[in-house]
């Protein structure tokens, strides 16, 4: 049997296998954190600050303590008594668990009620009396950075202003020289607004601490259970072997479930103090106003070019609005995440990025919302700049991109800010997208439409991402190196369990990881049980975010499968009484060269590994591998969006979305495409409607789904997806990771399309979300 055919019969890599996990979800039999009920379980509700900035004068909990069903009321002072009032953040800052001195954003955690019933816990919150002394709120990061601004973090020793970091990348001198040679400099000032990942399931925990043994079992919505266990051990001073984090099914994450939140710590403390399990499930408003938001970058970009469109240099000045605590989830060396990938898909010889972070009176936790650590902001900026440069130079935006792409033969390519791009063929992806959308005809149609007064726009984004952190030398989170792991146990009957250090939140790991084992070892995917998310059970790993599952744990799975295959070969040689060199491997089967009928299957070998192993060979067919990626992977693609803008109302409708993604080798094409669909929809939401903003007093606007708008099936466009395949040269499977590409790449394509429709009127920018009102306003301004 030909190898390719056999691989298809085991339904391994490349097969659109239907998902194992669906069987429970379609029956309503998933187990999400709120579905967990333990004997004697109590319910916790959190009191939050109504003010954005205020000193706490007093907290009176006596009435709440006396209320029906209330078991305990916990304040910051109670936590402080156990040294738990503050906790470290993922960016090396500190964050209040419950406020003791001041509240620093609206919605900040102040106290909690633990009661027999969730309704009673809520009732009692209203009985807590907090007296506040209001302070001026800082909602503009630029103002926050002014020298005389009121100090938000007066808790931090030595902190004299509201700057939470200053960071630079690239070469300022080389960039200045490039700009001196430029014929044209195109500038863009844009705010990538604060938005929120909003997984359909909010965050929550059931904390179950056994007072007698000190064992803490924490069922929590975590994208990174092991990292959280280590951080918990550090925060709470609990011995790490006594902490077990178990993630139930997770109802979406998109970065929102990467940080540790005060609610987790408070519920754990409550369970420890009360000796009963404590459940805390945040409601949607709590999720929107207090947990990891995304973006909020104020960017100024300058692109230097020659008159015929050669890109010479890029300069970026950005101010990030980090909220009251610097709690971004990102590698510790990267103060603005991986934003310095901002040169994108282009052979830009010089670049310089200067970034400053501001503390403001807003929620903390700049997480990457379906994004690899700020790649989204970077990709948006460069793709918007390129579009505007094309208008300035009178060049077609596709042509301008083509002239400046890093060419296939230039890989591995070292970017001006120090990334080493692994592989790419950007022009092929662009060409396929243009061909699929019918680009030349569309441009013609656009001209005709314009003549009739209709506003048609075509937006392109040719993004490059950087995903799959580490390597360990350059990337760590809170000191923990960014490797990942897989442990494979093949049982005597030839069935297997794979335990991985990453964490699914809907990505389909139970299926795709089984397919990797299937391709590598020939065990059919339905015979491979994939486990994750229980720190007592699976090997240490850094979790799932930044599209790192396949690049890291996927690689670990391939490597451990291959190691077991090597051992299997020794056993097969013993069974067939030949030497190892005389054996041929054909997915799932060793046969003797020249005598294909003399063969053993992987199942035969598995049995022999426990019943009939060769002399001197260790028993069993099991192993674990920790994979330290040699480099990150760089997925890319081109998205083309076609819109029509209504000149009367400013509303814009998406007519077409053509997406070409190159994420290297696709393990399960169906799942890959599903990930791309999701990202294109979230990108559409960000471009058109998702916004968290604040009034001048720091009141959050966007605190529920009637103010924070998410796209529904009605307004979300249809997506046409295509692939090119450029394998990663350093990944054992050639895969690159894909979960976030579409959210990273698509917002610029949507916005470029609207700007393209209005470019001839002189419109050069509309900040996201590009609402009808803003478009209408821009048209009015332009025609004045």
Partner 1 sequence: MEVNVTVNGAQHRVDVEPRMLLVHMLRDRLRLTGTHVGCDTSGCGACTVLLDGTPVKSCTMLAVQADGRSVTTVEGLARDGQLHPIQEAFKEEHGLQCGFCTPGMMLAAAALLESNPDPGDEDIRWALSGNICRCTGYVNIVKAVRRAAGAMRQTATQAG
Which residues belong to the active site?
Answer: 223, 370-371, 740
- Binding-site partner at residue 202 among ligand FES, partner 1, none, CB < 5 to 8 Å by type: partner 1
Tokens of 97: 């668990």
Beta-bridge partner residues of 133: 55
Instruction: Measure CA 396 to chain center.
Output: 33
Give residues 109-148 in contact with partner 1 (rule: CB under 8 A).
119
249 belongs to the binding site for partner 1 (CB under 8 A): yes
Question: What string of DSSP letters covers 333-372?
Answer: T-EEEEGGGGGTTB--SEEEEEEEEEE-SS----B-TTSS
- Binding-site partner at residue 462 among ligand FES, partner 1, none, CB < 5 to 8 Å by type: none
CB 465 within 8 A of CB 322: no
- Binding-site partner at residue 215 among partner 1, ligand FES, none, CB < 5 to 8 Å by type: none
- Write down the least CB distance from residue 71 to ligand FES, Å: 27
Q: What angle do CA 81, 223, 423 make, to 5 degrees?
A: 135
CB 398 within 8 A of CB 360: no
**From residue 551, how far is each of 252, 420, 627 by CA, in Å?**
20, 16, 9
- Write down the least CB distance from residue 436 to ligand FES, Å: 27
- Binding-site partner at residue 632 among partner 1, ligand FES, none, CB < 5 to 8 Å by type: none
Give residues 436-475 in contact with partner 1 (rule: CB under 8 A).
none
Question: What string of DSSP letters covers 392-408?
Answer: HHT--HHHHHHHHBPPG
Cβ distance to partner 1 smaller for residue 30 or 172: 30
Closest of 465, 466, 462 to residue 660, by C-alpha: 462
Applying CB under 6 A, which of residues 118, 252, 438, 669 lies at the interface with ligand FES? Answer: 252
Contact segment (CB under 8 A) with partner 1 among 135-143, 405-413, 441-449, 707-715 equals: 707-715
- Write down the least CB distance from residue 246 to partner 1, Å: 17
Per-residue DSSP letter, 17 = P
Give residues 719-758 in contact with partner 1 (rule: CB under 8 A).
719
Closest of 490, 630, 668, 486 to residue 566, by C-alpha: 490
Applying CB under 8 A, which of residues 704, 760, 777, 781 lies at the interface with partner 1? Answer: 704
Bond from prior residue into 470 cis (ω within 30 degrees of 0)? yes
Cβ distance to ligand FES smaller for residue 200 or 617: 200
- Binding-site partner at residue 123 among partner 1, ligand FES, none, CB < 5 to 8 Å by type: none
Contact segment (CB under 8 A) with partner 1 among 360-368, 488-496, 577-585, 716-724 equals: 716-724
Tokens of 459: 């937006």
Question: Judged by CB under 6 A, how many residues of this single chain contact ligand FES?
Answer: 3
Applying CB under 8 A, which of residues 250, 311, 477, 602 lies at the interface with partner 1? Answer: 250
- Write down the least CB distance from residue 255 to partner 1, Å: 12
506 belongs to the binding site for ligand FES (CB under 6 A): yes
251 belongs to the binding site for partner 1 (CB under 8 A): yes
- Write down the least CB distance from residue 705 to ligand FES, Å: 7
Cβ distance to ligand FES smaller for residue 1 or 25: 25
201 belongs to the binding site for partner 1 (CB under 8 A): yes
- Write down the least CB distance from residue 689 to ligand FES, Å: 17
Question: What string of DSSP letters covers 196-207?
Answer: ----SS--EEEE
How far is the C-alpha of 218 from the C-alpha of 533, rounded, in Å?
11
- The C-alpha R_g of the chain, in whole angstroms, comes to 27
- Binding-site partner at residue 66 among ligand FES, partner 1, none, CB < 5 to 8 Å by type: none
Contact segment (CB under 8 A) with partner 1 among 198-206, 388-396, 600-608, 609-617 equals: 198-206
Cβ distance to ligand FES smaller for residue 200 or 773: 200
How far is the C-alpha of 454 from the C-alpha of 443, rounded, in Å?
13
How far is the C-alpha of 747 from the C-alpha of 743, rounded, in Å?
7
Structural element, H or E, at residue 386: helix 375-393
How far is the C-alpha of 570 from the C-alpha of 612, rounded, in Å?
12
Question: Shortest Cβ contact with ligand FES: which residue?
Answer: 200
- Write down the least CB distance from residue 25 to ligand FES, Å: 8
Cβ distance to partner 1 smaller for residue 114 or 400: 114
- Write down the least CB distance from residue 575 to ligand FES, Å: 46
Cβ distance to partner 1 smaller for residue 5 or 23: 23
How far is the C-alpha of 596 from the C-alpha of 389, rounded, in Å?
63
Question: Judged by CB under 8 A, how many residues of this single chain contact partner 1?
Answer: 58
- Write down the least CB distance from residue 196 to partner 1, Å: 11
- Binding-site partner at residue 784 among ligand FES, partner 1, none, CB < 5 to 8 Å by type: none
**From residue 153, how far is each of 83, 97, 149, 160 by CA, in Å?**
19, 15, 11, 8
Q: Tokens 């990663």 correspond to what residue?
A: 728
Cβ distance to partner 1 smaller for residue 320 or 703: 703
CB 284 within 8 A of CB 251: no
Q: What angle do CA 628, 631, 633 make, to 5 degrees?
A: 115
Residues whose CB is less than 8 angstroms from the CB of residue 220 and which lie 6 or more positions away in sequence, other chains included: 33, 203, 204, 205, 206, 207, 228, 245, 246, 247, 264
Applying CB under 6 A, which of residues 1, 200, 617, 773 lies at the interface with ligand FES? Answer: 200
Beta-bridge partner residues of 295: 194
**From residue 385, how far is each of 157, 406, 657, 700 by CA, in Å?**
40, 17, 21, 31
Question: What string of DSSP letters covers 498-533?
Answer: EEESS--SSS-HHHHHHHHHHHHH---GGGEEEE-S
Q: Fill in the per-residue mask, 272 to 291: x = in contact with partner 1 (CB under 8 A), - = not in contact.
A: -----------xxx------
Cβ distance to partner 1 smaller for residue 250 or 583: 250
Closest of 333, 336, 304 to residue 188, by C-alpha: 304
- Write down the least CB distance from residue 607 to partner 1, Å: 33
Which runs of consecutive H residues, i.e. helices, occur in 555-629? 555-576, 602-611
Per-residue DSSP letter, 247 = -
617 belongs to the binding site for ligand FES (CB under 6 A): no
How far is the C-alpha of 230 from the C-alpha of 762, rounded, in Å?
54
Cβ distance to ligand FES smaller for residue 426 or 532: 532
Cβ distance to partner 1 smaller for residue 199 or 457: 199
Bond from prior residue into 116 cis (ω within 30 degrees of 0)? no
Q: Fill in the per-residue mask, 4 to 43: x = in contact with partner 1 (CB under 8 A), - = not in contact.
A: --------------xx-xxxxxxxxxxxx-xx-x------
Per-residue DSSP letter, 35 = G
255 belongs to the binding site for ligand FES (CB under 6 A): no
Give residues 506-525 in contact with partner 1 (rule: CB under 8 A).
506-508
- Write down the least CB distance from residue 701 to partner 1, Å: 14
- Region of 506 (left: φ > 0; alpha: ψ -120 to 50; beta: rest) is left
- Write down the least CB distance from residue 59 to ligand FES, Å: 31
CB 408 within 8 A of CB 342: no
Cβ distance to ligand FES smaller for residue 22 or 131: 22
653 belongs to the binding site for partner 1 (CB under 8 A): no
Cβ distance to partner 1 smaller for residue 29 or 447: 29
Give residues 537-566 in contact with partner 1 (rule: CB under 8 A).
none
Interface residues with partner 1 (CB under 8 A) are 18-19, 21-32, 34-35, 37, 119, 197-202, 249-252, 254, 283-285, 505-508, 670-671, 673-682, 704-706, 710, 712-714, 716, 718-719
Binding-site ranges for ligand FES (CB under 6 A):
200, 252, 506
């Amino acid at each position: 049997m030909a190898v390719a055919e056999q691989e298809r019969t085991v339904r391994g890599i490349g097969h659109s296998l239907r998902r194992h996990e669906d069987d429970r979800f379609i029956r309503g039999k998933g187990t999400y954190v709120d579905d967990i009920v333990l004997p004697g379980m109590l319910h916790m509700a959190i009191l939050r600050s109504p003010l954005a900035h205020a000193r706490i004068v007093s907290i009176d909990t006596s009435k709440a303590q006396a209320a029906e069903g209330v078991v305990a009321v916990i304040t910051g002072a109670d936590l402080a008594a156990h040294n738990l009032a503050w906790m470290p953040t993922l960016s090396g800052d500190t964050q209040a668990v419950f406020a003791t001195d001041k509240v620093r954003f609206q919605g900040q955690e102040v106290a909690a009620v633990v009661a027999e019933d969730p309704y009673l816990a809520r009732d009692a919150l209203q009985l807590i009396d907090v007296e506040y002394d209001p302070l001026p709120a800082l909602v503009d990061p630029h103002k926050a950075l002014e020298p005389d601004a009121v100090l938000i973090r007066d808790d931090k020793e030595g902190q004299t202003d509201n700057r939470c970091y200053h960071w630079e990348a690239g070469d300022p001198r080389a960039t200045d020289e490039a700009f001196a040679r430029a014929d044209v400099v195109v500038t863009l000032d844009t705010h990538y607004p604060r938005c929120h990942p909003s997984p359909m399931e909010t965050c929550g925990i059931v904390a179950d601490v056994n007072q007698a043994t000190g064992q803490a079992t924490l069922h929590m919505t975590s994208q990174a259970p092991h990292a959280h266990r280590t951080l918990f051990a550090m925060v709470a001073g609990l011995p790490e072997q006594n902490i077990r984090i178990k993630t139930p099914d997770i109802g979406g994450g998109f970065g929102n479930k990467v940080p540790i939140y005060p609610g987790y710590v408070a519920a754990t403390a409550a369970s420890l103090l009360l000796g009963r399990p404590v459940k805390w499930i945040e409601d949607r408003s709590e999720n929107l106003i207090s947990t990891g938001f995304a973006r909020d970058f104020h960017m100024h970009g300058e692109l230097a070019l020659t008159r015929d469109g050669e890109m010479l240099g890029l300069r970026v000045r950005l101010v990030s609005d980090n909220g009251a605590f610097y709690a971004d989830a990102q590698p510790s060396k990267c103060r603005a995440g991986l934003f310095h990938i901002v040169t994108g898909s282009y052979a830009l010889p010089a670049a310089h990025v200067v970034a400053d972070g501001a503390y403001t009176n807003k929620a903390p936790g700049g997480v990457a919302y379906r994004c690899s650590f700020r790649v989204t902001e970077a990709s948006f900026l460069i793709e918007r700049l390129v579009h505007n440069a094309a208008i300035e130079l009178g060049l077609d935006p596709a042509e301008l991109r083509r002239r400046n792409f890093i060419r296939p033969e230039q890989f591995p390519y070292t970017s001006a800010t120090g990334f080493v791009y692994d592989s790419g063929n950007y022009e092929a992806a662009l060409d396929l997208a243009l061909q699929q959308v019918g680009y030349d005809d569309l441009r013609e149609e656009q001209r005709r439409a314009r003549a009739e007064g209709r506003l048609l726009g075509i937006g392109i984004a040719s993004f490059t991402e950087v995903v799959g952190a580490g390597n360990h030398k350059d990337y760590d989170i809170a000191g923990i190196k960014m490797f990942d792991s897989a442990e494979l146990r093949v049982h005597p009957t030839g069935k297997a369990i794979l335990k991985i250090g990453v964490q699914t939140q809907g990505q389909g790991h139970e299926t795709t990881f089984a397919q990797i084992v299937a391709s590598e070892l020939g065990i059919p995917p339905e015979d491979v049980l994939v486990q994750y998310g229980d720190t007592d059970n699976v090997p240490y790993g850094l979790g799932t975010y930044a599209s790192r599952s396949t690049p890291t744990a996927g690689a670990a799975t391939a490597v451990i499968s291959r190691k077991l295959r090597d051992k299997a070969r020794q056993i097969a040689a013993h069974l067939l009484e030949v030497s190892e060199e005389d054996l041929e491997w054909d997915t799932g089967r060793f046969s003797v060269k020249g005598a294909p009928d003399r063969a053993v299957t992987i199942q035969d070998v598995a049995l022999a590994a426990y019943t009939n192993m060769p002399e001197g060979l260790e028993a069993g067919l099991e192993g674990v591998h920790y994979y330290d990626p040699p480099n990150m992977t760089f997925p890319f693609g081109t998205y083309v969006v076609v819109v029509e803008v209504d000149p009367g109302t400013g509303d814009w409708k998406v007519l077409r979305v053509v997406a070409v993604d190159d994420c290297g080798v696709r393990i399960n094409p169906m799942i890959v495409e599903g990930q791309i669909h999701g990202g294109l929809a979230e990108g559409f939401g960000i471009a058109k409607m998702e916004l968290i903003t604040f009034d001048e007093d720091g009141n959050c606007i966007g605190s529920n789904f009637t103010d924070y708008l998410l796209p529904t099936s009605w307004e979300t466009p249809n997506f046409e997806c295509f692939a090119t395949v450029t394998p990663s040269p350093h990944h054992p499977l050639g895969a690159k990771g894909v979960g976030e590409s579409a959210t990273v790449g698509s917002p610029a394509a949507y916005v470029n399309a609207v700007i393209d429709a209005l470019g001839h009127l002189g419109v050069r920018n509309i900040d996201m979300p590009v609402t009808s009102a803003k478009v209408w306003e821009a048209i009015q301004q332009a025609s004045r």
